[in-house]
Amino acid sequence: MHGTAAITPASIKAVRPLVDRFAHRTPLRDDELLGRRVDSPVGLKLENLQPTGSFKIRGAAAKVAGLSPDQRRRGVITASTGNHGRAVAHVARSLGVDATICLSDNVPAGKIELLERMGCRLDIGGSSQDEAFDRAIALADHPDGPILVHSILDPVVVSGQGTCGLEITEQQPGASTVIVPLSGGGLLAGTTVAVKSRLPSARLIGVSMEQGAVMHASIQAGRPVRLPEFETLADSLQGGIGTDNATTFPIVRDLVDDIVLVSEDEIAAGMAYALHEHRLILEGAGAIGIGALLSGRLRPDSGPVVVVCSGANAELDVVAGLAQRPNPAR
């Protein structure tokens, strides 16, 4: 469906100029308190500050801005209601490209409203996100149909996410541990290829929630598996990796050093910490790396640590609740 899945240092460098037109080179913020806890310098890579609130703008920019004039005329299509859909809609709108998002019948009204405001065409139907995704694939599968923008199976998108890793090596050339939120592995695979090309001895660690960690289960099984979905604060980490994943699965299996799982309370503690200590709103997925360090589930080797804080789009009632708690690290 997506050709050969080549994610290489060269493919990541090649898309960087496109990514730089839409994404910020986000800051690496020094975190003294967390650094004292783990006895090494800790930097937070603040992808929550990106346009549309997550790193997904990188892959969307690489893919959509890289289309030929003929492909742009056909428009783009995807099935994500979350950060990937927002990022694709944003880049497409800036370039005057039509974007269609396929949704199931049970997507909440608030999400639909937000996507409508961003100017996308919505294609609503079917009872699950998997069905919506199958519709997107079917619509894209015509000679003149829209171009599919897949968040983890498209090597151009994953190469775009890898630009986050290039920035990390420039901002912290001594990085010895890089901690990355993990769902389908687009961010982790791209970041791993980029970081290891420049810092071969750096350790790359993926972090997922305890329940429904599909990549973790797949690595253990030795092949992509499916799991039921569970409710979680890290809702951006839900979803499958595809049964035929030749893109991110082999990279995570062969190059990533470890995958750590974190409980819901520990994710909440990560969010509360970011809010109290840094006055930053992080969604559950964005705070999961902090949660892994605070809880002691992840003990980095000595040497500088980088924690990718992947997104900001938390529900405000959840954030308000966490603001009532004390700082979990003080």
Ligand X SMILES: *Cc1c(COP(=O)(O)O)cnc(C)c1O
Residues that bind ligand X (CB under 6 A): 54, 56, 83, 151-152, 181-188, 236-237, 283, 285-286, 310-311
77, β-bridge pairs: 100, 148
**Cα–Cα distance measured from residue 191 to residue 170, given in angstroms and rounded to the nearest whole number:** 13
Here the tokens at position 263 are: 């409980």
Nearer to ligand X, 183 or 218 (CB): 183
Q: How far is the CB of 69 from ligand X (least distance, A)?
A: 29
Nearer to ligand X, 286 or 300 (CB): 286
**Cα–Cα distance measured from residue 277 to residue 327, given in angstroms and rounded to the nearest whole number:** 7
C-alpha separations of 21 from 120, 134, 183 in Å? 21, 31, 26
Nearest to 107 by CA among 135, 134, 82: 82
**Cα–Cα distance measured from residue 268 to residue 262, given in angstroms and rounded to the nearest whole number:** 10
Q: How far is the CB of 20 from ligand X (least distance, A)?
A: 20
Here the tokens at position 291 are: 């949660």
Nearer to ligand X, 75 or 184 (CB): 184
Rg (CA), the chain: 19
Scanning the structure block, which residue is given the tokens 């890898």? 162
Helices (H), 96-185: 109-117, 129-140, 155-171
Strands 99-103 and 147-148 turn out to be unpaired
Scanning the structure block, which residue is given the tokens 């992808």? 47
Q: How far is the CB of 123 from ligand X (least distance, A)?
A: 21
**Minimal CB distance residue for ligand X:** 311
Q: How far is the CB of 272 from ligand X (least distance, A)?
A: 17
Residue 40 DSSP one-character state: S
> Do 195 and 204 touch, CB atoms closer than 8 A?
yes
Nearer to ligand X, 54 or 159 (CB): 54
Nearer to ligand X, 74 or 307 (CB): 307
Nearer to ligand X, 159 or 183 (CB): 183
Q: How far is the CB of 52 from ligand X (least distance, A)?
A: 10
Q: How far is the CB of 200 from ligand X (least distance, A)?
A: 23
Angle at 116 between CA 148 and CA 55, to 5 degrees: 55
Q: How far is the CB of 144 from ligand X (least distance, A)?
A: 30
Nearer to ligand X, 96 or 316 (CB): 316
Q: How far is the CB of 237 from ligand X (least distance, A)?
A: 6
Q: How many CB atoms lie within 10 A of CB 33?
A: 14
**Cα–Cα distance measured from residue 156 to residue 248, given in angstroms and rounded to the nearest whole number:** 12
Nearer to ligand X, 186 or 270 (CB): 186
Residues ≥6 apart with Cβ < 8 Å to 108: none
Nearer to ligand X, 146 or 289 (CB): 289
Q: How far is the CB of 57 from ligand X (least distance, A)?
A: 10
